[in-house]
Amino acid sequence: MKRRFVLPGLCLATALATPSVLAQPAAANVVSFATSASVEVPQDFLSLTLNTTREAGDAATVQKALQQAVEAALVQARPAAQPGAMEVRTGHFSVYPRYASQGRISGWQGTAEVVLEGTDIARITQTAARIQTLSVARVSQGLSRQAREKHEAAVQAQAVAQYRAKAQELAKLFGFGGYELREINVSTQEPGVIPVPLMMRAKADVMAAEAAPLPVEAGKALVTVTVSGSVVLK
């Protein structure tokens, strides 16, 4: 696994402080800085959104058609659902009017979504391929909570170790024997779910593809932990 480490530049409070601050003994030996550690890890979470659009002359017809499409999709998806591996849920559902010239309603249109998401990529893509009433609209990838927490724990330990080493190094450079922690902040840059570009095909082509799973290749996510704060040189 490739690991990347980032050490931001240092900010020395003693060098940047105003003369009035330097005159205060309590703040004279304070150094503020930050260190970061990062690791690049494979994404293990897939979110796949399927949707459909319906049109009709009245709202009730559109709503009924959307409900039927979603219910048929859920019948196909639910048997394959498994906690963590593949969760099934409904997404956006809306019905809205279409307007002609002069602001009059010329018809109604609506959209509905079903979302398949989890860590079992093969299960998700194969299930999506079996659903005929909806088409794939969006594909997103990211890190599962378990993977993120596991990697954050390791990276956090690295960032803290770097901070302590840098504090000791600065104390030595300024002619001091050690340091005392004054204020510490630990922050994590959480990788979100990243949309994957998807070239949409005509609905007839999607239907003709029958049960061919959508090809999905897992990417990389960067987990970063930053330790910032200040120390008193002693």
Q: Say if strands 3-6 and 105-118 run parallel, antiparallel, or are unpaired.
A: unpaired
Across 44-104, the runs of DSSP E, i.e. the strands, are 45-56, 87-99
CATH number at residue 112: 3.30.70.360
CA angle 51, 53, 58 (to 5 degrees): 140
Candidates 125, 135, 133; CA nearest to 75 is 133
In this structure, are 60 and 78 located in the same domain? yes
Residue 195: inside a domain: no
Residue 16 inside a domain? The answer is yes
Q: What is the pLDDT of residues 39-52, one digit of tens each?
A: 999 999 999 999 99
Question: Do 229 and 170 sit in the same domain of this protein?
Answer: yes
Cβ neighbours around 108 below 10 Å, total? 19
209 in a structural domain: no
Residues 91 and 138 placed together within one structural domain of the fold: yes
Q: 51 in a domain, yes or no? A: yes
> What pLDDT was estimated at residue 211?
55
Print the domain residue range for 32: 3-42+147-190+224-233
Say if 214 falls within a structural domain.
no
| Nearest partner of 137 among 197, 191, 97, judged by Cα | 197
Q: What is the pTM of this model?
A: 0.67
- Examine the pLDDT at 216 and tell me if it is beyond 60: yes
- What does the alpha-carbon distance between residue 80 and residue 114 come to, in Å, rounded to a whole number? 14
Helix/strand/coil for 47: strand
Structure tokens at 165: 């080493």
* Contact call for residues 98 and 106 (beta carbons, < 8 A): yes
Distance, CA of 6 to CA of 23 (rounded, Å)? 34
Amino acid at 221: A
The β-bridge relationship of strands 220-233 and 30-42 is antiparallel
Q: Apex CA 140: angle with CA 138 and CA 144, to 5°?
A: 145
Question: Which tokens in the block code for residue 232?
Answer: 């008193």
Radius of gyration for the chain, computed over Cα atoms and rounded to the nearest angstrom: 27
81, 165: one domain: no
- Sheet with 105-118, strands from edge to edge, namely 87-99, 105-118, 45-56, 135-142, 194-196
Domain boundary (83, 107, 142) is at 142
* Contact criterion met (CB below 8 Å) for 170 and 179: yes
Q: Is the pLDDT of residue 20 over 80?
A: no
Instruction: Tell me the per-residue pLDDT of 169-205, one tens digit each, with 9 for 90 and over.
Output: 999 999 999 999 999 999 988 665 555 554 433 343 4
Distance CA 234, CA 21 (A): 18
Which tens digit of pLDDT belongs to each residue from 126-151?
999 999 999 999 999 999 989 998 89
Q: In which residue are the tokens 């170790």 written?
A: 161
Number of domains in the chain: 2
For residue 101, what pLDDT is reported?
82
d(CA 117, CA 45): 7
Q: Do 10 and 77 fall into the same domain?
A: no
